[in-house]
Chain A
Amino acid sequence: MTLDVLYFAWLRERIGQPRERIETDAATVRDLIADLSARDDWHAAAFADLAAVRCALDQQLADLDAPLEGVREVAFFPPMTGG
């Protein structure tokens, strides 16, 4: 499937781009992270500590075990610091 993957804050900096469109067979967010991490050192560095990674699927917060079926946009970012 085709996914738009977005990165924010220090994940964006480590990966070196704010978004990319990818082809993947990943079934869950965790599978997608494994797929991305295998692509190059920058992705691997960004996903080195999953305790510091949050995600949203089609702009709704989700956990890393969530399935990707039907999803178009995945975003990865550190814990949020609003307010």
Chain B
Amino acid sequence: MSARVQTPPFDLAAELAGFGAGAGAIATFTGVVRDDTGAMAALEIEHYPGMTERALSDYGAQAAERFNLTDWRIVHRHGRLAVGEPIMMVATAARHRHAAFQAADYLMDWLKSRAPFWKREIGHDGAARWVDAKASDEDALSRW
């Protein structure tokens, strides 16, 4: 049960070694830098050191209680990430698959709009643009 913020890439297989021992179901989600316009070279992710770790731990603990998780892990990167690089991962372990899937979905909804990260798109021409929050991400929280 842990949350981490880091600049280097993570290795999903290494993260899962020994994760969720004894669980009947493990779900993982990995977010990857995507280029929707063909003009983007990289994403820069800023965060609030101190608060970020605290928020991720709080959301993980909330998910564990709500979905009876036997284990959970959140890894979120910051700094400059090229298109195609992994940004973050969540892993959830539970007795049954529904709880594991739902907990991962729940954590993603919280991370999207309640964890202190801010994305900035860097174009091939070097121009930078802060990514706006989506109303749909905010709405997604009301499901829970």
Query: What residues of chain A have their CB less than 8 Å away from a CB belonging to chain B?
Result: 6, 8-10, 56, 59-61, 75, 77-83
* A7 shortest CB reach to chain B, Å: 10
Q: Is the CB of B54 within 8 A of A59?
A: yes
Main secondary structure on chain B at its contact with chain A? Answer: mixed
Q: Is the CB of A80 within 8 A of B88?
A: no
* A28 shortest CB reach to chain B, Å: 20
Give Cα A9 to B45, complex, Å. Answer: 9
- Report the interface size for chain B: residues with CB under 8 A from the other chain: 27
18 more contacts with CB within 8 A, not counting A8-B116, A80-B118, A83-B111, are A8-B46, A9-B118, A9-B120, A56-B48, A61-B114, A75-B48, A77-B116, A80-B115, A81-B118, A81-B119, A82-B76, A82-B88, A82-B117, A83-B31, A83-B88, A83-B108, A83-B117, A83-B137
User: Known: A9-B46, A56-B48, A59-B48. Is A81-B131 also a contact (CB below 8 A)?
Assistant: yes
Give Cα A9 to B113, complex, Å. Answer: 15
